[in-house]
Structure 1
Amino acid sequence: MIHCWRLDDARQTLVLGVRDNHLAEAIYWGPRLPDDENLEMLYGAHEIDVTGGMLDVNPELSICPEATRTFPGQPGMVVRDETGKSVLPAFSFESVEQSETALTLTFTDAENGLAYRAHFAIDPQTHLITLWAELEGTRALNLHWLSAPVLPAPQLSDEMIDVAGRWCGEFQINRTPWSAGMRTRENRTGRTGHEHFPGLIVPCRGATNTQGEAYGFHYGWSGGHKMVAEELPDGRRQIQFGNATQVEDEARTLFKTAPLYVTYSNSGLNGCAVAFQRHVRDRLITWPHPERPRPVHYNCWEAIYFDHNLPELKEIATIAAGLGAERFVLDDGWFGERDDDTSSLADWEVDPRKYPDGLTPLIDHVRGLGMVFGIWFEPEMINPDSNIYRAHPEWALGREDQILGRNQLVLNMALPEVREFLFERIGKILADHDIDYVKWDHNRVLPTPDADQTRGTYALLDRLRTAFPDVEIESCASGGGRTDFGILEHTQRVWLSDSNDALERLKIQHNAALFLPQCVTGSHVGPRVCHTSGRVLDIRFRAWVAAQRHMGFEMDPRELTDEEADVLRRVTAWWKANRGWMYHADILRLDAADPAVVAEQHLHEDQFVVFAGKADTSDQISPRPLRFTGLNPDAMYRVDLVNRDEIARVALSRGRSMLKTGAMKVSGRYLMHHGVTLPWSFPETMWVIEGHKI
């Protein structure tokens, strides 16, 4: 007997089927099927043949492949009882719950006392499908591995695209060819990690940023994940995502995966990117004040580090406000006896040496300038040299002889008394001061992976947000070490990288746009000499790169020349004038004909802006035309160069390109199939092009 179910939105269909009461299989995932498609017929049609050297029947590639069904690849779960003996379930279909946009399938194994539930929900507006799995037992079990519901990967795909990285070098794209066997990627650092972002895109043959078919995956969990992309001997392919293995320290009767977000695109990688961006912006993020525009951010870290001096901070705040900043964030060094990174973490009390009258004089000055005030915490960490560690060494996670990271240990967030202490200390700072924003940092990996650590952090964040609903929270972890959809359900901004090098940022932001929208992605104008790379970059390039995302400054503004300050003011004013519609814009990565150009288009309804960054020297003499995307081919557009004044600085640009002198009016078809030829430019510069439908 065959049972089938489908979930649809305007562009995709997912079909699940059950035969002989076995676990369900995803028998189709791709372009929207006709409403009258015979799903039982599809179940038979998707089966592959049997030949020599195979079993007489192919084991199902189910939503949780079972070792007991002679499945030849990675099983969907690995479970042991409390004695350590393997539990090998064989599930049978029990029941279904279905609505127009959601489906829950329940399977049971009476012999082992187990129930497995697979949940599927489709969002017709964002085009994301959310999947998660639950395993429940009548007795306590030890979980080694549990995948979210497993989906097949497309056959007409030659490679997979995933994301690696490091500190100050996040979101590096890997392209790995499909081959027989398994590509396993596991992050066991206890946080999302710089190393392995929990995302995957599988492009079909010929797909680019702007065209072709692609399948996107993101696992929304902040505690470390495992990904399996496997090609079986018979040619079938499967994708598995779950929490990192062996992160459940205690036997339990109920386990759940985090949400796995997936989408199918028929418009290249950008189709996946837009689905992810919109879902984060419109479904996951909850803003304290959704009616407020995103404020221009100033962070004092690279201006003063630990050297806090009230008159100096007031001077810096005054200059930042004059440049256009609307939020001032006091970073590390305001508490305990924190003169460097060796002491005082967890002693969350204002340092009377630096602030004899508390933080109020600085906050009053900042607010008097028309800015709101933010402050830095690193709640999950503790220094051995701290009053709290001396009082409660048992609160630290891991062995006594563990290696320190940035001179610190990790607090055990699974302990209720630790969360209670942090809520009281952080809550007192927030209650006693007019604070609008918290930068929540996480500067070392865990000594051992532990899912309860992540759950405890989520619980503390939720409690603080309930108590202080007007406070926005940024997720920072040495930059982009905790950037995922799980943390974004509890926060509103991510600090994408500790690198304020605009050239590095150009590439990091471009790749992160495969998953993240503009409004949550912090990007700051750094100092003239970058503190993490030593590179010297022009203020124009630094400012325009920051203007691609949630704009801010992070430098000592007293270093700016009058000319640099004027440039920064003008770019900031442009960003403020456009932030309203850019908040809603889709970030579309462009397929630049010149590999030296990193370009993207922010598109919302009838207007767009293109940022074309020159990251290197071109191989050819003149710029190649840059094709735009997503426009109405039959409409006319007015296209203009925003930063035309910068042409005068490029003495080697001597031609008569139309954009050098004024706007042009051309069709969407021309812009998408021929493209715009930009003025010549040096490396490490940016052209900014605005477009409006006429």
Structure 2
Amino acid sequence: MTQCWRLDDERQTLALASSGGRCPQVVYWGAPLPAGEDLTAITRISTLDVTGGMLDENPDLSLCPEASRTFPGQPGLIVRDQDGTPLLPKFHLDGVEVRPDGLTVICKDQGNRLTYTADFALDPETHVIAMTAALSADRPLHLHWLAAPVLPAPQHANDMIDFAGRWCGEFQMNRTAWSPGIRYRENRTGRTGHEHFPGLIVPCQAATNTSGEAFAFHYGWSGGHRMIAEELPDGRRQIQFGHAARMETSPSTEFRTAPLYAVYSSDGLNGCAVSFQRHLRDRVVTWTKPGRPRPVHYNCWEAVYFAHDLPVLKDIATRAAKLGAERFVLDDGWFGQRDDDTSSLSDWEVDPRKYPDGLGPLIDYVHGQGMSFGIWFEPEMINPNSNIHRAHPDWALGSEDQVLGRQQKALNMALPEVRDFLYERISKLLSTHPIDYIKWDHNRVLPMPDAAQTRGSYALIDRLRADFPDVEIESCASGGGRIDFGILSRTQRVWLSDSNDALERLKMQHNASIFMPSAVTGSHVGPRKCHTSGRVLDIEFRAWVAAQRHMGFEMDPRELTDHEARVLADVTAWWKDNRDWMYTADILRLDASDPSVIAEQQQARDGSRFVVFSGKSGTSPQIAPRPLRLTRLEPDAQYEISLRNRASATVLSRGNLALKEGPLTLTGAALMHNGVTLPWSFPESMWVLEGKRL
């Protein structure tokens, strides 16, 4: 006997089937099926044949593949009993609870006294399916591995795309060919990690940014994850995501995965990207003041580092405000005896040497310049050279002889007394001063992975958010080391990278947009000579790259020439004029024919307007620019397009291009199929093309 269930929206159908009372498996996921489709027939037509060298029946690729059923790949659960004896669960379907936009599958193993629960929630507007798995028992067990509900990967795909990176080089895309065996990635650093962003894309054959089928996955957990993309000997493929193995260091009667967010797209990677962008912005993030324009940011880190001086900071604040900044963030160096990174983390008391009258005078001055005030913390860390470490060395996570990272250890966030202490210190500052923003940093990996550490950090943030709901929080971890939907359910902004190099940012922002909208992605105009790469870049390029996301500045404004100040003020004013509609805009990656061009189209939700950012990352292989084709326009509609920065054309752009003269009107069909030929430009430059539907 076969039982079937389905979830549907206008984009997709997800169908599950259980045969012989076993744990269900996904038998179909893709383009919508007719309402009357016989799912039992789908199950039967999808059953593999049996030939020589195989079992007489192929084991199910179930939501939790079981080794006890001779499943030939990685199992979905590895668990031991109280005495360490390995358990080999064999689940039987106990029931399925169906909701309008979701369902819950309950399976039981009576012999081992285990219950497995898989939950699916389909958002009909964003088209994201959020899935979790849970295991419960009547006595504490030791968990090695629990996968979120396991999904099949398409067999009409040649490769997969996942994401690697490093400090100052996050969100690097890797393409790996499918082949028999496993693509196995595990992050055991105790945070999301620069190196292993928990995302995966499986583009089907011939898929591009703008066309074709693609499947995408993101595991919303901040503590380190494992990803398995496996091709079985029989040709089937499975996708597994979960916490990094052995992260549950204590036995328990219940374990639960973080949500696995999954997306099917019939219009290329952009379909996946738009779903993730909208779901994160509209469903995951809880905004402090919904509808409030995103303020232009100023961060003083690369202007002063640890050398805090009140008159200098006031001067910088004045200049930042004149350029258009609306929020001033005081970075590391305001507390303890913090003159470098060797001391005072965890003390969190204002340094009386630098601020003899406290932070009040600086905050008042910043407010007087029309800006709000934010401040830097790194709550989960502690320097051995600190008052708190001397008083409570037992609060540090890991052994006494551990290798330090950035001269610091991590605090044990699983301890309630640690969380209470941090809450008291942080809340005292927030209660005493009008602070509306925290840059929450995390500058080292953990000495060992432990899920309790992540849950403790979540609990502290949740407590502060509950008591200070108007304070916005940015997730920073040496830049992009803690970016995921788990931390973003508690924060409102991420610091994508510590690199303010606009060329590096152009690439990183482009790839990160598959998962993140502009509204949460901080991007700052850095110094003329980048502090992390040594590269010298023109102010216009730096400004327009920052204007692609949540715009800010992070340089010493005293270095700006009059020309640079005018350019920066002009681009900032443009960003302010457009930020309201860009807040909810979809970021669409364009398929540029020139490999040196990194281009995207940010389009209003109603399609009424768009802006194209076409960045030049290097020298083109051909002389003249190739046409850039736009996407998702109405073919019969008329669009007026204009080059916002046409005055920036260099003297080597000598042709009489119409875009250099003024606006043009074309149909959506012409813009999508013929494309737009932009003027010639140097590497490390940006064209900004604005469009509106007439």
Deviations 1:636-686 (A, max 9, x none): 100000011111xx1110001110111110010010011000000000000
* Structure 1 residues 459-474: aligned runs within 5 Å: 459-474=459-474
What residue is the counterpart of 1:626 in the other structure?
A: 628
SS across alignment from 2:494: strand
What residue is the counterpart of 1:484 in the other structure?
A: 484
What residue is the counterpart of 2:644 in the other structure?
A: 642
Report the residue type matching 2:11 in the other structure: R
Deviations 1:373-405 (A, max 9, x none): 000000000000000000000000011110000
What residue is the counterpart of 1:53 in the other structure?
A: 53
* Structure 1 residues 193-592: aligned runs within 5 Å: 193-592=193-592
SS across alignment from 1:504: helix
Q: Which whole-Å CA distance do the structure 2 matches of 1:182 and 1:473 have between them?
A: 38
Q: Which whole-Å CA distance do the structure 1 matches of 2:260 and 2:287 have between them?
A: 23
Q: Which whole-Å CA distance do the structure 1 matches of 2:86 and 2:674 have between them?
A: 61
Deviations 1:488-515 (A, max 9, x none): 0010000000000000000000000010
Q: Which whole-Å CA distance do the structure 1 matches of 2:470 and 2:652 have between them?
A: 51
What residue is the counterpart of 1:41 in the other structure?
A: 41
Q: Which whole-Å CA distance do the structure 2 matches of 1:83 and 1:113 have between them?
A: 15
Q: Which whole-Å CA distance do the structure 2 matches of 1:29 and 1:214 have between them?
A: 11
How far off its partner does 1:125 sit? 0.3
Q: Which whole-Å CA distance do the structure 1 matches of 2:170 and 2:545 have between them?
A: 16
Q: Which whole-Å CA distance do the structure 2 matches of 1:29 and 1:472 have between them?
A: 38
Cα RMSD after superposing both structures? 0.5
Deviations 1:30-88 (A, max 9, x none): 00110111111111111110000000000000010000000000000100112211011
Deviations 1:167-222 (A, max 9, x none): 00000000000000011000000000000000000000000000000001000000
Q: Which whole-Å CA distance do the structure 2 matches of 1:607 and 1:572 have between them?
A: 19
What residue is the counterpart of 1:134 in the other structure?
A: 134
Deviations 1:533-564 (A, max 9, x none): 00000000000000000000000000000000
Report the residue type matching 1:612 in the other structure: S
What residue is the counterpart of 1:158 in the other structure?
A: 158
- Is 1:73 the counterpart of 2:55 in the alignment? no
Report the residue type matching 2:348 in the other structure: W
What residue is the counterpart of 1:19 in the other structure?
A: 19
SS across alignment from 1:671: helix
SS across alignment from 1:414: coil
Deviations 1:253-307 (A, max 9, x none): 0000000000100000000000000000000111111121000000000000000
How far off its partner does 1:100 sit? 1.0
Q: Which whole-Å CA distance do the structure 2 matches of 1:639 and 1:288 have between them?
A: 35
- Is 1:31 the counterpart of 2:27 in the alignment? no
Report the residue type matching 1:310 in the other structure: L
Q: Which whole-Å CA distance do the structure 1 matches of 2:127 and 2:690 have between them?
A: 28
* Structure 1 residues 649-664: aligned runs within 5 Å: 650-664=650-664
Q: Which whole-Å CA distance do the structure 1 matches of 2:222 and 2:648 have between them?
A: 42
Deviations 1:406-444 (A, max 9, x none): 000000000000000000000001100010100000000
SS across alignment from 2:460: helix
Deviations 1:314-369 (A, max 9, x none): 00000000000000000000000100000000000000000000000000000011
* Structure 1 residues 110-125: aligned runs within 5 Å: 110-125=110-125
Report the residue type matching 1:563 in the other structure: H
Report the residue type matching 1:100 in the other structure: P
* Structure 1 residues 606-625: aligned runs within 5 Å: 606-625=608-627
Q: Which whole-Å CA distance do the structure 2 matches of 1:369 and 1:9 have between them?
A: 49
What residue is the counterpart of 2:105 in the other structure?
A: 105
Q: Which whole-Å CA distance do the structure 2 matches of 1:87 and 1:402 have between them?
A: 34
Report the residue type matching 1:569 in the other structure: A
SS across alignment from 1:350: coil
Using the size of structure 2 for normalisation, the TM-score is 0.99
Q: Which whole-Å CA distance do the structure 1 matches of 2:603 and 2:133 have between them?
A: 36
Report the residue type matching 2:597 in the other structure: V
SS across alignment from 2:581: helix
Q: Which whole-Å CA distance do the structure 2 matches of 1:154 and 1:111 have between them?
A: 34
What residue is the counterpart of 2:684 in the other structure?
A: 684
Deviation >3 Å, runs of 4+: none
Q: Which whole-Å CA distance do the structure 2 matches of 1:254 and 1:683 have between them?
A: 55
Q: Which whole-Å CA distance do the structure 1 matches of 2:311 and 2:35 have between them?
A: 69
Report the residue type matching 2:634 in the other structure: N
SS across alignment from 2:58: coil
Deviations 1:595-639 (A, max 9, x none): 000000001121000000000000100000000001001111000
How far off its partner does 1:119 sit? 0.2
SS across alignment from 2:485: coil
Q: Which whole-Å CA distance do the structure 2 matches of 1:530 and 1:603 have between them?
A: 31
Identity %: 70
SS across alignment from 1:486: helix
Q: Which whole-Å CA distance do the structure 2 matches of 1:350 and 1:646 have between them?
A: 46
Report the residue type matching 2:684 in the other structure: E
Q: Which whole-Å CA distance do the structure 2 matches of 1:69 and 1:653 have between them?
A: 68
Q: Which moved more, 1:623-632 or 1:282-291?
A: 282-291
How far off its partner does 1:691 sit? 0.4
Using the size of structure 1 for normalisation, the TM-score is 0.99
Report the residue type matching 2:137 in the other structure: G
Unmatched segments (≥5 aa) in structure 2:
none
Q: Which whole-Å CA distance do the structure 1 matches of 2:72 and 2:95 have between them?
A: 27
SS across alignment from 2:29: strand
Q: Which whole-Å CA distance do the structure 1 matches of 2:684 and 2:640 have between them?
A: 27
Unmatched segments (≥5 aa) in structure 1:
none
